[in-house]
Amino acid sequence: MMSMREWIADENTICAELIVFVLGGVLYGTIEVLFRGHTHWSMVLTGGACVLTLYLLLEWLDSQPLAIAALAGALIITVYEFAVGCIVNLRYGWNVWDYSAMEVNLLGQVCPVFTGIWFALCFLFLGLVRLLS
């Protein structure tokens, strides 16, 4: 039986990347709905971009110890979250999220607590990818 990674690699690269982007967006949106009760379309796009970035870096991430790979993933997601937050929350005022009440936040867009959550999710996600590969 072909692994998920082999199946995706066999497909057209653009098609595979689109599939990964859509699945990442749906997964992120679903997680947010489960934990927050709602999501925003910008978060679905951001989730897709985060998962696609992890997918594109998968060979490098696989070569790292799992904790280092998860830390890299958490930092990548935090950077996306900060950039998107600066656009959708600070620039456009859509108030998709606000971490300003959290300790050690940066402009209310990112904070260590959520970077820790991204680390845990990346650890689980990348660990699962390694098991399925």
**Over 60: is that where the pLDDT of 8 sits?**
no
pLDDT score for 15: 85
**Over 90: is that where the pLDDT of 7 sits?**
no
Query: Is the whole-model pTM more than 0.85?
Result: yes
Query: What is the rounded distance in angstroms from the CA atom of residue 81 to the CA atom of residue 86?
Result: 8
pLDDT score for 12: 67
Per residue in 75-113, pLDDT tens? 999 999 999 999 999 999 999 999 999 999 999 999 999
Q: What is the CA radius of gyration of the chain?
A: 15
